[in-house]
Every structure is written in structure tokens, then in C-alpha cells.
């Protein structure tokens, strides 16, 4: 492991590269990265990058988002098979059909989507800023929210706008159930339950807090509570433990793991830096259209 880390650091310096990693990645990948964060944080960091090469340790839509924001840089994805099932649950034709059906609606696209779908949207969002994005659309009464119906429903509960959903969802978060939470609460009665808004309504209703991954991390660091049940991919627990060594974290469901995220390894990072293969490419016209929605999201405060 030490030799591999040394090799990656040497290649990064030689190639003028930087490594960005999502907080669901394997612990060793998070430790190797120059920056670790959620989808919003990765997008925000991407616009600051000065290096010529960006290695994205995440899934395809994350690498595409980084490429959209850095069209002149080389963006590499260590494993091209690392994809997001939710992103494939809606296509361009379905978005266009919804737009024709609801002519006065704004299309809000969760960042967990393909670049082509982003190009058909008015603005993007992540789970950590979705509410602010919706609030920013003051001239719209209707919102077409794609593709995640669970996040969309969660946000709709705090809005007076009419929401139109498609049938997209996250298979990983769908594994986290109300019963999972009840079972763990019997074992750890003092634990606070934090779940991601991509979880089902029953799971969300069983939680103490519904938070995005970045807000979960902030919350546990600021809380006096010692025990937490975490309702999202357990990859996030690695940083939580590092930041809060005296606190205890229990996955709501140990099988709720994104296998696509875990396809990235140190070996694959070293290989992609050495070969400069697996370059992420986005068609220029599509990228320009998609970039408008991503940049509009980044301007929301």
C-alpha cells in the first residue's frame, strides 16, 4: 500500500494532476485524495482546479460534471464502469415530453443524472442545496424534478410549489428501511438517527434528522450526542470517525453500499495516471447547455 501511495504521489507531480474523491469512496481512496466531499463540494472544488489533469474518484455523472466545468482540462475516471443506476432512470426523450406537458414548469435536475439530461434542464441541484435551488425559482409555480422522486418529495414538503416527478430513485438508499432503523434503535436507544433524503418516506419519518452527506458530517461534529445511526452509504463513516474519534457510528443497513462507487481502487488510480486513459469526454454543444444549469446551481446561495 505504501509503495502504491508513493507511486500515485510521484505520478501526480509528474503529470500535474489532482485527485477529487466522493465521500462514499473506499477509505484508502479518500485518504489518497487531495479533496473529499459530496457532489456539491466536488463541483465547487472543480471550478478552482489549476492542475491540468483531474482524476475523479466517483461515478460517471460526477466526472462528467467536472468535465462540464473544465472543458479544457483532461478529466479521468479510474473505472469507466463506475456508473449511477439512478442517472440512467430518465432519458432525454422523457424530459422533453414532460417539458411539453408542463410548459410553465422549471426543470430542476438532480446532479445524479447524465450530461444529456442536464442539458435539457433549467438548473441543477444536489441533496445539500436542493431547497435553496427551489427557493431561488421565484417566478415558477411548477417544478419538474428529475430523476429522484424521494429527494423531490422531501423538498416538496417545504415548498408551496407544485412538483412533477419521474420514477427515478437510488437503489442503495432504497435498501434502508423503517424496520432497519427500529431494530438498531432497540440496540442503541440513545443513538440519533440521520438519514439521507434519497431514502423512502417511511425511513425519513423514522429518523431524527434528514440530511445530505455533507450536512450529516457537520451535524455529528457539532452534536453532543455520542452515538449515531447513519442512513446512507457507509463510506461516509470513514471521515466521521476521523473527525470524531470518540463517537460511535452504526450503518442503518450494512448492505446499503454503492458498489459502483467502490469500483475505484488505488491500483486503478495509479493505472489511469500512468496511462492517462479513461478520459471523460463530453460533446461540446451538450456540454455548453449542461454547464448553464450547473453554473446556475453554483450561484445559488
CATH number at residue 183: 3.40.50.10800
Q: What gap in Å lies between CA 18 and CA 26, rounded to an integer?
A: 18
Q: What gap in Å lies between CA 107 and CA 91, rounded to an integer?
A: 13
Helix 60-69 vs helix 284-299: crossing angle, to nearest 10: 90
Average pLDDT over residues 252-257: 96
Residue 1 in this model has a pLDDT that exceeds 90 = no
DSSP code at position 103: T
DSSP code at position 279: B
Query: The whole model's pTM is what?
Result: 0.94
Q: Give, in order, the Cα–Cα distances in Å from 255 to each of 41, 181, 231, 251.
A: 26, 13, 11, 9
- Domain hosting residue 15, numbered range: 2-84+261-282
> Does some domain include residue 189?
yes
- Shared domain check, 74 and 15: yes
- Shared domain check, 159 and 185: no
- Shared domain check, 78 and 7: yes
Residue 40 in this model has a pLDDT that exceeds 90 = no
Residue 281 in this model has a pLDDT that exceeds 90 = yes
> Does some domain include residue 119?
yes
- Shared domain check, 236 and 199: yes
- Please list, residue by residue across 266-278, b when 16 or more beta carbons sit within 10 angstroms of its beta carbon and e when fewer do: bebbbebbeeeeb
> Does some domain include residue 198?
yes
Tens digit of each residue's pLDDT (9 = 90 or more) over 286-297 = 999 999 999 999
- Shared domain check, 144 and 117: yes
Domain total in the chain = 3
Helix 60-69 vs helix 39-46: crossing angle, to nearest 10: 30
- What pLDDT does residue 24 have? 96
Choose the weakest-confidence range: 42-46, 170-174, 217-221: 42-46
pLDDT band at 3 (very low <50, low <70, confident <90, very high): confident
- Shared domain check, 22 and 68: yes
Tens digit of each residue's pLDDT (9 = 90 or more) over 114-146 = 999 999 999 999 999 999 999 999 999 999 999
Average pLDDT over residues 240-253: 97
Average pLDDT over residues 101-106: 97
- Shared domain check, 155 and 101: yes
> Does some domain include residue 256?
no
Residue 269 in this model has a pLDDT that exceeds 80 = yes
- What pLDDT does residue 284 have? 95
What integer best gives the mean pLDDT of the chain? 96
Average pLDDT over residues 76-84: 97
> Does some domain include residue 99?
yes
- Shared domain check, 222 and 164: no
pLDDT band at 251 (very low <50, low <70, confident <90, very high): very high
> Does some domain include residue 122?
yes
Whether the CB-CB separation of 273 and 254 falls below 8 Å is answered with: no
Q: Give, in order, the Cα–Cα distances in Å from 9 to each of 17, 51, 88, 246.
A: 9, 14, 34, 31
Average pLDDT over residues 260-286: 97
Residue 188 in this model has a pLDDT that exceeds 80 = yes
- What pLDDT does residue 210 have? 98
- Shared domain check, 164 and 25: no
pLDDT band at 31 (very low <50, low <70, confident <90, very high): very high
Residue 163 in this model has a pLDDT that exceeds 90 = yes
Lookup: cell for 218: 457537520
Average pLDDT over residues 66-83: 96
- Shared domain check, 100 and 165: yes
Amino acid at each position: 500500500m505504501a509503495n502504491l501511495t508513493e507511486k500515485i504521489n510521484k505520478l501526480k507531480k509528474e503529470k500535474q494532476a489532482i485527485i477529487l474523491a466522493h465521500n462514499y469512496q473506499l477509505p484508502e481512496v479518500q485518504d489518497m485524495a487531495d479533496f473529499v466531499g459530496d457532489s456539491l463540494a466536488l463541483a465547487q472544488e472543480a471550478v478552482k482546479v489549476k492542475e491540468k489533469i483531474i482524476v475523479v474518484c466517483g461515478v460517471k455523472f460526477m466526472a462528467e460534471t467536472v468535465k462540464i466545468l473544465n472543458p479544457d482540462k483532461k478529466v479521468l475516471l479510474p473505472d469507466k464502469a463506475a456508473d449511477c443506476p439512478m442517472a440512467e432512470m430518465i432519458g432525454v426523450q422523457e424530459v422533453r415530453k414532460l417539458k411539453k406537458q408542463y410548459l410553465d414548469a422549471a426543470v430542476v435536475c438532480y446532479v445524479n443524472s447524465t450530461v444529456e439530461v442536464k442539458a435539457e434542464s433549467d438548473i441543477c441541484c444536489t441533496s445539500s442545496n436542493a431547497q435553496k435551488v427551489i427557493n431561488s425559482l421565484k417566478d415558477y409555480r411548477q417544478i419538474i424534478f428529475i430523476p429522484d422522486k424521494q429527494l423531490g418529495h422531501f423538498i416538496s414538503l417545504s415548498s408551496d410549489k407544485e412538483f412533477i416527478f419521474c420514477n427515478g430513485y437510488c437503489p442503495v438508499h432504497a435498501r434502508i428501511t423503517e424496520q432497519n432503523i427500529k431494530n438498531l434503535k432497540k440496540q442503541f436507544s440513545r443513538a440519533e438517527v440521520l438519514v439521507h433524503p434519497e431514502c423512502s418516506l417511511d425511513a425519513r419519518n423514522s429518523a431524527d434528522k434528514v440530511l445530505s452527506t455533507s450536512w450529516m458530517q457537520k451535524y455529528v461534529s457539532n452534536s453532543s450526542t455520542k452515538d449515531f445511526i447513519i442512513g446512507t452509504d457507509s463510506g461516509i463513516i470513514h471521515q466521521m470517525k476521523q473527525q470524531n474519534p470518540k463517537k460511535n457510528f452504526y450503518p442503518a443497513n450494512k448492505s446499503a453500499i454503492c458498489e459502483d462507487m467502490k469500483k475505484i481502487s488505488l491500483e486503478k488510480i495509479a493505472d489511469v495516471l500512468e496511462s492517462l486513459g479513461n478520459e471523460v469526454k463530453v460533446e461540446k454543444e451538450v456540454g455548453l447547455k449542461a454547464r448553464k444549469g450547473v453554473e446556475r446551481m453554483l450561484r445559488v446561495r
